[in-house]
């Protein structure tokens, strides 16, 4: 890997038009989003802007996706708030310092995982669990923003408490704020739903109409800010506004390492969730253009982005779904689109922050609510329910866990559920007693097919690798069969679906073979795969089984029949 990324060394002029268009459009989306997600994270608005400059450049240099748009995103911002609120007063100097440290830690972890090539860590989360987590987070985020729409103070430790506090604070709602918030909400929702279609009817090409629909939040920002500024609604009607945003590029500085201990777990969770989300977006976009994503380089790119965010006064960032899709659709060919966006954001912060003074919080809240409402995903739940009840249950439990206990407990529940489902599934392997389909060399489940069996022989096919989660289940099944068929002289294990025998399972098989041997019952195997056989051969069990491992189930049956003919079983 050279210091100059591949896309830059081989940059073609033909890519520039697409990159520039995408860069401009993403910037227009990014301005309100970066302010809104800073608000969501409990941080001053300029930190959202800071987090949208250097991180994008860092990712462009190290990441592997051509179209991923990195920056502040809703779920990571919520997780940031949730990690920091127990540690410091929201918005205080310590809170800000901890947010920067969190970004540094998260970036350090991601980069370390990348260097150690631990991209597989993303696999600890199943798709249903992620879906449940995102949906639950979206509910949390949306409910948490209602107070800004009403112009009141109201919070709680969970959704129910927050709703109760909101109901209680309702009489204090500020009417002008409510009007601004409600009209923004209706406008943004209608724009999302109908604007593209309306523009198409007016003759705008589909793609352009779609992109213009994405710019409605900026329109809401401009109109509402203008209205508030003209009538000074902040003082005359108590509309809460963003206020003074410091002008000037972020000071690059070394983040503090204070409070690292309490931030380790949150940083890990933010890294994990951010990485999983980011990679899945990057992957789906790359596939459409037959490009490739390297998960380990993604870890490096996202790690560098977060470290850059920390050094320039930002907070945790990752690849966002909505902006990446827009970036792709607007024609981004290379990360230069992101770099252009970063330069534009730099220009905004260097000169134009004064324009945000009268931007009402209610409009940012409406932006957040409309953005996250599309994250609530009932379709995956429905599909999972149809396809696999266990997966649907994980999804629901994770979603409910997030809403009831917050993001950290929710994501930990999700990891536990993913792994629990995995262990539970493999601890209940499909085990079939098989017999020969008459006149063939094929063997099938005796419960499903009319097959021939051999007296004194129990032939079992286990449809799972044998490891700690299921080895004793196999043993139990064999003992149950032996108890039911006391005249058994041989137990045959058909290993066609056994891709691995781990040390635990080897121990169980070894003990079982000894126990069967003591009872005068032979234990034999068939269809052992090459890699499994390679390992098994050198073990004491492998040596004792020598001559009892058959290439095919057919041969094992043939031998059992020969033995039955030579020495008929005593009834």
Site for a second copy in 370-389 (CB under 8 A): 380, 383-384, 386-388
Q: Are 358 and 138 in contact (CB under 8 A)?
A: no
List 247, 292, 517, 562, residue binding a second copy (CB under 8 A):
292
Closest CA to 560 of 506, 523, 508: 523
- Long-range CB pairs of 234-240 (<8 Å, 24+ gap) are 234/358, 234/360, 237/174, 237/175, 237/176, 237/177, 238/151, 238/174, 238/176, 238/177, 239/151, 239/174, 239/176, 239/177, 239/180, 239/360, 239/362, 240/148, 240/151, 240/177, 240/360, 240/361, 240/362
**296 counts as binding a second copy under rule CB under 8 A:** no
Binding residues for a second copy, how many (CB under 8 A)?
72
List 65, 145, 334, 470, residue binding a second copy (CB under 8 A):
470
List 193, 430, 517, 562, residue binding a second copy (CB under 8 A):
430
| Integer Cα distance of 62 and 43 in angstroms | 27
**496 counts as binding a second copy under rule CB under 8 A:** yes
First to last CA, the chain: 73
Rounded to a whole number of angstroms, the minimum distance from the CB of residue 550 to a second copy is 17
* Structure token pair of residue 428: 């209940």
The 402-421 site mask, x for binding a second copy (CB under 8 A), equals ----------------xx-x
**427 counts as binding a second copy under rule CB under 8 A:** yes
Alpha-carbon 218 to chain mean position: 28
Q: Which of residues 85-124 bind a second copy (CB under 8 A)?
A: 120, 122-124
Candidates 86-94, 228-236, 305-313, 428-436; binding stretch for a second copy (CB under 8 A): 428-436
The 271-290 site mask, x for binding a second copy (CB under 8 A), equals ------------xx--xx-x
* Structure token pair of residue 258: 């204070």
**441 counts as binding a second copy under rule CB under 8 A:** no
Rounded to a whole number of angstroms, the minimum distance from the CB of residue 392 to a second copy is 8
Which residue reads 């005796």 in tokens? 446
**472 counts as binding a second copy under rule CB under 8 A:** yes
Closest CB to a second copy among 452 and 479?
Answer: 479
The 326-355 site mask, x for binding a second copy (CB under 8 A), equals ------------------------------
The tally of CA atoms less than 13 A away on the side-chain side of residue 258 is 11
Closest CB to a second copy among 426 and 564?
Answer: 426
Q: Which of residues 513-542 bind a second copy (CB under 8 A)?
A: 515, 518-519, 529-531, 535, 538-539
What does the CA dihedral 38, 41, 47, 50 come to, rounded to 10 degrees?
-80
């Amino acid at each position: 890997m050279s210091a100059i990324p591949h896309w830059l060394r081989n940059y073609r002029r033909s890519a520039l038009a697409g990159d520039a268009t995408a860069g401009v459009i993403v910037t227009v989306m990014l301005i309100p989003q970066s302010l809104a997600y800073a608000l969501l994270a409990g941080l001053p608005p300029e930190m959202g802007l800071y987090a949208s400059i250097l991180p994008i450049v860092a990712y462009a240099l190290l990441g592997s996706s051509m179209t991923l748009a990195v920056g502040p995103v809703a779920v990571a911002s919520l997780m940031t708030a949730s990690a920091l609120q127990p540690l410091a007063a929201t918005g205080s100097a310590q809170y800000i310092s901890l947010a920067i440290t969190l970004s540094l830690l998260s970036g350090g972890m991601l980069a370390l995982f990348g260097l150690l090539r631990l991209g597989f860590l993303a696999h600890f989360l199943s798709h249903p669990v992620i879906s449940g987590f995102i949906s639950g987070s979206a509910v949390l985020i949306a409910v948490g923003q209602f107070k800004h729409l009403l112009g009141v103070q109201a919070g709680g430790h969970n959704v129910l408490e927050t709703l109760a506090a909101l109901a209680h604070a309702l009489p204090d709602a500020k009417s002008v704020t409510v009007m601004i918030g409600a009209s923004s909400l209706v406008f943004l929702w209608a724009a999302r739903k109908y604007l593209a279609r309306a523009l198409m009817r007016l003759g705008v090409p589909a793609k352009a109409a779609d992109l213009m629909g994405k710019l409605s939040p900026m329109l809401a920002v401009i109109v509402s800010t203008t209205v508030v500024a003209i009538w000074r609604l902040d003082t005359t009607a108590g509309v809460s506004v963003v206020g003074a945003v410091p002008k000037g590029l972020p000071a690059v500085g070394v983040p503090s390492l204070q409070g690292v201990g309490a931030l380790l777990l949150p940083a890990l969770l933010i890294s994990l969730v951010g990485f999983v989300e980011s990679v899945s977006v990057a992957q789906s976009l790359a596939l459409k253009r037959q490009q490739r994503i390297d998960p380990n380089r993604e870890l490096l790119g996202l790690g560098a982005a977060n470290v850059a965010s920390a050094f320039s006064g930002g907070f945790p960032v990752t690849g966002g779904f909505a902006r990446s899709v827009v970036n792709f659709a607007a024609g981004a060919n290379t990360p230069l689109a992101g770099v252009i966006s970063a330069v534009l954001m730099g220009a905004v912060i260097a000169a134009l922050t004064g324009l945000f003074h009268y931007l009402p919080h209610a409009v940012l809240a409406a932006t957040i609510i409309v953005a996250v409402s599309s994250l609530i995903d009932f379709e995956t739940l429905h599909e999972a329910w149809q396809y696999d009840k266990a997966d649907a249950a994980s999804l629901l439990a994770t979603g409910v866990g997030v809403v009831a206990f917050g993001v950290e407990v929710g994501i930990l529940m999700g990891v536990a559920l993913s792994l629990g489902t995995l262990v539970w599934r493999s601890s209940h392997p499909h085990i079939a007693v098989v017999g020969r389909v008459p006149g063939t060399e094929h063997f099938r489940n005796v419960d499903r097919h009319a097959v021939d069996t051999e007296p004194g022989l129990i032939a079992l096919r286990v449809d799972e690798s044998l490891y700690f989660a299921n080895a004793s289940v196999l043993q139990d099944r064999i003992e149950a069969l032996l108890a039911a068929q006391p005249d058994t002289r041989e137990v045959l294990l058909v290993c066609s679906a056994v891709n691995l025998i781990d040390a635990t399972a080897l121990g169980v098989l070894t003990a079982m073979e000894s126990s069967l041997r003591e009872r005068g019952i032979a234990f034999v195997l068939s269809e052992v795969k090459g890699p499994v056989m390679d390992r098994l051969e050198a073990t004491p069990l492998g040596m004792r089984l020598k001559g009892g491992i058959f290439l095919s189930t057919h041969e094992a049956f043939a031998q059992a029949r020969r033995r039955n003919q030579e020495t008929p079983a005593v009834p």
